[in-house]
Amino acid sequence: MKEIELNDPYTTPYRGIYAICDKNNEYVEIVEHSNCYGGAAWSKFHYSHSPLILKTRSIGNMIRYLAKIGTSKLELKPSIAAAGIESIIVDGTEVHITYAGLGGGGVGATKCRAFAQGVLSCNYSESGGGRAAKGTVVVPRRERLLIGIDDTDSKEKGATWTLTHNIAKELDCAESVYLSHSLVQLFPVSARTQNCVSTVLEFGCVDENAKKELLESIKAALLKYSVSGQTGMVVLHNFSAHDLYLYSRKCRTGELTREYALQCAKDNGVEIWMDGNGVIGALASLSWFARPEESVRMDAEIHDP
């Protein structure tokens, strides 16, 4: 028998909690990176009934809550609606998120989230047992940054999805958090290396300086490690990439020209950081951020903004 010593047996801290806001601070996506998916899945079910929550979904061990910014009144009920998000307030460069819960849900709403990486400060009540509890965590306000990349490999060497993930993982930091990576299946054009797949990276950045440093670092890494002379890198600073879905659908059902891709990028405010033929697929990847299970299917569609 192995005897164990638990410093705090009733706290399982989240790995991280991130708040991605739109430019007008009307909407936010709260991304919770969990160390215990079972507990996070329980929260996902109960939090989805909170008035502020518009949509919930899970990607790996991350739960994502698309929400309205504001305050609501929760009516907590054991087993049915035992926990929720009561308020989400933006205060300058900070986002204040107030959670509430009953029993074990109260433990998750307080200490488990308060001790997550990236939390700037917290305030919470006693929790556990039969108590109702409440906790507020303060996290940095972030904005979404999307980077589409394609054509970094050759017939002899490389794979774009591995290079992009390894670069993103190395650049993951408190100022620019690496949130998701999606492989996007494209129409198998004649000029493809093999499988005709592009990649979109999603980061949550605290300010423009963080974005600039991140993008310069990604471009430098692509120039260093890409084995193709046609690498494309495109960048979108926006909460949503829904406006690019029509272009993406065309790229997933037929062959497009580089000139058409560049014009579409210009029309939709997409920055071109590397302009090889890979921009065609790179641009098509943007609308599939945080959709890695759908983006690999040619018949998948995006129905919501």
Quick one: 134 and 223 in the same domain?
no
163 and 278 together in one domain: yes
93 and 25 housed in the same domain: yes
Cβ neighbours of residue 22 closer than 8 Å, sequence gap 6 or more? 28, 239, 240
- Specify the amino acid at residue 252: R
174 with 95, same domain: the answer is: no
Q: In whole angstroms, how large is the CA radius of gyration of the chain? A: 21
> What pLDDT, in 10s, does the model give residues 160-196?
999 999 999 999 999 999 999 999 999 876 665 555 7
Q: Is 229 in the same domain as 123?
A: no
pLDDT at site 11: 83
The verdict on 134 and 256 lying in the same domain is: no
Is there a single domain that holds both residue 207 and residue 72?
A: no
- Domain boundary among the residues 113, 141, 169 is at 141
Is the C-alpha dihedral spanning 85, 91, 93, 94 positive or negative?
A: negative
Label residues 261-300 b or e (16+ Cβ within 10 Å = b).
Answer: bbebbeeeebebbbbbbbbbbbbbbbbbbbbbeebeeeee
- How does residue 102 score in pLDDT terms, banded at 50, 70 and 90? confident
Residue 188: alpha-carbon gap to chain centroid: 28
Mean pLDDT to the nearest integer, 34-57: 92
Q: Are residues 92 and 194 in the same domain?
A: no
- Overall number of domains in the chain: 2
Predicted confidence at residue 305, as pLDDT, reads: 47
Residue 91 pLDDT > 50: yes
Domain holding 205: CATH number? 3.30.70.2200
Domain residue limits at 155 = 151-295
- For the chain, what is the mean pLDDT? 90
86 inside domain: yes
Q: With the C-alpha atoms ordered 161, 162, 167, 172, is the resulting torsion angle positive or negative?
A: positive
Of all residues in the chain, the percent with pLDDT exceeding 70 is: 92
Residue 117 lies in a domain: yes
Q: How long, in residues, is the chain?
A: 305
Mean pLDDT of 78-103: 88
